[in-house]
Amino acid sequence: MDILDSAIRDAGAAAYVIYGSSADADMRYLTRFRTTDPVVYAKRPGERGILVIPQMEHERAVRESSAAVITRADAGYLEYLKAGEPPWRATAHMIADLAGGPVLVPATFPLALARELESFHPVILDTAGTVGRMRAVKTPDELEQIRAVQRATEAAMDRGIALIRGSTPKAGILHRDGRPLTAETVRAEMHIHLLTNGCRGADTIVSCGPDTALPHNQGSGPLLENEPIVIDIFPQHELSGYYADMTRTVVKGEPTPAIQEMYEAVREAKALSASSVRAGALGSDLYTAVVDFFHDHGYESGTQGFVHSLGHGVGLEVHEEPSLGPRGGALVAGNVITIEPGLYYPGTGGVRLEDMGAVTETGFDRFTQYEEELII
């Protein structure tokens, strides 16, 4: 917490305050507490952070949270309500008491609450995203939790690919058990497998044929013979809150020469990027190297070809710092990142491969151990 303490002092604030549920990754990181209702977390420099919660959650929060825990009643909230203050005003009054001076808040802080709080103390916006930067550097325990999610992710990926591999083509459409094999079926089977391993999947991509030319097209309907199938899965562990992220592209049958060539280029680009990862490397340099690599192999970047960044951080959010894009800064040991080059051409299709791993002082500790095999 030294980084947060320094940010508070540098801003001339008395405390850092965040308001939200554990769906807010910063709140979950600072408190390690799961809640669907918004709560208040306040921290003064040199002191343990305080989590302010309803009475009904007190005992559970004491057991689960890394923060000190008090109830809203203990913090004065109910008294302010009894005095006739509206809820936003009462919450602001309570926060003002906890902070005791100017308050540093994240960009996600509610505007209505900030306006009320300003009548008590100055409100300073943390434009640097301090907690997000803290979250970007993982502890050994966090690294192991993400590894665990990745193992479940690979098992789910294997289940989805096994369905495709075991299918039978009929008139260009893949069938299984006498019925067309659909993107919805593969997605559902993968999600079921994730649930049995304590994870949940959402918005998993199982796209096929022309749909693969759109990187985030979720995919629907029957899967096709001889066409690329892009599977991108990014589940979250329900207890820890950590994500994993991986992508594979497969073809049941014979891919076109164009898809085969794109696949080889993407695989080489991924290997090139992985070999360049280490602490101190710039995300922007890694991205530019892949742009140049694709250009040298006849593929453009921009509106088609390579159309997205090379990768991103993964943790309590599936997309967080650092960036491996045009403006990506220096990587730090302990970052968990994806490397996911892709090529996309309308009328031809798309190919993407994605691995995830940790940045070390000397290289890339790849968590993803799943095979790369285009033709299945």
> Tokens 């079926």, residue?
185
Same domain, 336 and 360: yes
With 90 as the cut, is the pLDDT of residue 21 above it? yes
User: Who's near 354: CB < 8 A, 6+ residues apart?
Assistant: 232, 245, 246, 247, 248, 270, 311, 338, 339, 340, 368
Region 278-285 average pLDDT: 98
With 90 as the cut, is the pLDDT of residue 227 above it? yes
Per-residue CA distances from 97 to 73, 187, 282 (Å): 13, 49, 43
Same domain, 271 and 179: yes
Region 53-77 average pLDDT: 96
354 assigned to some structural domain: yes
Residue 224 confidence (pLDDT): 98
What CATH number has the domain bearing residue 81? 3.40.350.10
Q: Are strands 311-313 and 320-324 parallel, antiparallel or unpaired?
A: antiparallel
Same domain, 83 and 217: no
Same domain, 103 and 159: no
Same domain, 142 and 218: yes
Residue 72 confidence (pLDDT): 97
Summarize pLDDT for 110-143 with one digit per residue, the tens.
Answer: 999 999 999 999 999 999 999 999 999 999 999 9
Identify the bridge partners of residue 247 per DSSP, sorted by sequence position: 232, 354
12 assigned to some structural domain: yes
371 assigned to some structural domain: no
Same domain, 124 and 142: no
Region 355-374 average pLDDT: 98
Residue 309 confidence (pLDDT): 98
Q: Answer yes or no: are the C-beta atoms of 137 and 118 closer than 8 Å.
A: no
Residue 55 confidence (pLDDT): 95
Summary mean pLDDT of the chain: 97
Region 301-316 average pLDDT: 97
Same domain, 61 and 169: no
248 assigned to some structural domain: yes
At 360, is the pLDDT very low, low, confident or very high (cuts 50, 70, 90)?
Answer: very high
Residue 219 confidence (pLDDT): 98
Residue 348 burial by Cβ neighbours in a 10 Å radius (0-12, 13-18, 19+): middle
Q: Which domain does 107 fall in, by range?
A: 2-135
Region 92-105 average pLDDT: 98
SS3 123: strand
Final residue of a structural domain among 101, 135, 169? 135
Final residue of a structural domain among 135, 153, 182? 135
Region 324-328 average pLDDT: 97
Q: What percent of the chain has pLDDT over 70?
A: 100
At 184, is the pLDDT very low, low, confident or very high (cuts 50, 70, 90)?
Answer: very high
Same domain, 217 and 276: yes
Could you give the CA distance from residue 46 to residue 56 in angstroms, rounded to a whole number? 29
Q: Which of 339, 347, 176 is nearest to 245 (CA)?
A: 339
102 assigned to some structural domain: yes
Final residue of a structural domain among 74, 104, 135? 135
Q: Answer yes or no: are the C-beta atoms of 279 and 360 closer than 8 Å.
A: yes
Could you give the CA distance from residue 136 to residue 253 in angstroms, rounded to a whole number? 41
Residue 285 confidence (pLDDT): 98
With 80 as the cut, is the pLDDT of residue 182 above it? yes
373 assigned to some structural domain: no
Could you give the CA distance from residue 174 to residue 171 in angstroms, rounded to a whole number? 8
Same domain, 141 and 72: no
282 assigned to some structural domain: yes
Could you give the CA distance from residue 261 to residue 263 in angstroms, rounded to a whole number? 5
User: What φ, ψ does residue 132 adopt, rounded to 5°?
Assistant: -60, -40
Count structural domains, the chain: 2
Identify the bridge partners of residue 342 per DSSP, sorted by sequence position: 352
Same domain, 156 and 223: yes
Q: Which structure tokens are listed for 52?
A: 């302010």
Same domain, 107 and 59: yes
Q: Is the CA virtual torsion 157, 159, 162, 163 positive or negative?
A: negative
Residue 112 confidence (pLDDT): 97
Residue 63 confidence (pLDDT): 96
Could you give the CA distance from residue 309 to residue 298 in angstroms, rounded to a whole number? 18
At 268, is the pLDDT very low, low, confident or very high (cuts 50, 70, 90)?
Answer: very high
What CATH number has the domain bearing residue 173? 3.90.230.10
Residue 101 confidence (pLDDT): 98
Same domain, 141 and 163: yes
With 90 as the cut, is the pLDDT of residue 51 above it? yes
With 80 as the cut, is the pLDDT of residue 1 above it? no
68 assigned to some structural domain: yes
Residue 317 confidence (pLDDT): 98
Could you give the CA distance from residue 261 to residue 345 in angstroms, rounded to a whole number? 13
